[in-house]
Amino acid sequence: MSQKQRPTAPAWLSLDNAAKIYPAARTQGWMPLFRVSINFVEEVDRALLQKALQRTIKRIPQFGYRLRPGLFWFYLEDQDIMPQVEDDARNPMLPFNLAGSKRFMFRLRCHKKRVAMEVFHVLTDGYGATTFLLTLSAEYLYLKTGKRIPAEGIILDTREAPRREERVDSFPRVARELTQSRGEQSAWQLKGTPIEAGFLRVVTGIMPTEKLLFLAREKKTTVNTLLAAIIMQALMIQKEGTKRQKRRPVKLSLPVSLRKYYGSATLRNFSFYVNVPVQTGHGLDGLDDLITYISHYMGLETMEPQLNARFSANVKAEQNKLLRAAPLFLKVLVLRMMYRMTGERYITSTLTNLGNIKLPAEMAKQVQRMDVVLGSAQKTPIGAAVISCNGHTCLSFSKTIRETGVERHVFTTLIKLGVPVKIESNE
User: pLDDT tens digit string along 349-365?
Assistant: 999 999 999 999 999 99
Confidence at residue 5, expressed as pLDDT on a 0 to 100 scale: 35
Distance CA 388, CA 390 (A): 7
Q: CATH 3.30.559.10 region(s) of the chain?
A: 9-162
Residues in the chain: 427
Low-confidence ranges of the chain (pLDDT < 70): 1-8
Which is the CATH superfamily of the domain at 9-162? Chloramphenicol acetyltransferase-like domain (3.30.559.10)
Helices (H), 240-360: 259-262, 287-301, 304-318, 321-325, 328-338
DSSP codes, 177-206: S-------PPPP----PBPSTT--EEEEEE
Contact present, 190 and 350 (Cβ < 8 Å) = no
pTM of the model as a whole: 0.95
Interhelix angle for 126-145 vs 46-59, to 10°? 130
Contact present, 239 and 280 (Cβ < 8 Å) = yes
Alpha carbon of 169 to those of 252, 259, 266, 306, 354: distances in Å?
27, 12, 7, 20, 20
Q: CATH 3.30.559.30 region(s) of the chain?
A: 201-425
Question: Domain 201-425 falls in which CATH fold?
Answer: Chloramphenicol Acetyltransferase (3.30.559)
Confidence at residue 223, expressed as pLDDT on a 0 to 100 scale: 98
Contact present, 278 and 290 (Cβ < 8 Å) = yes
CB-based burial, 232-253: b 16+ in 10 Å, e otherwise = bbbbbebbeeeeebeebbbbbb
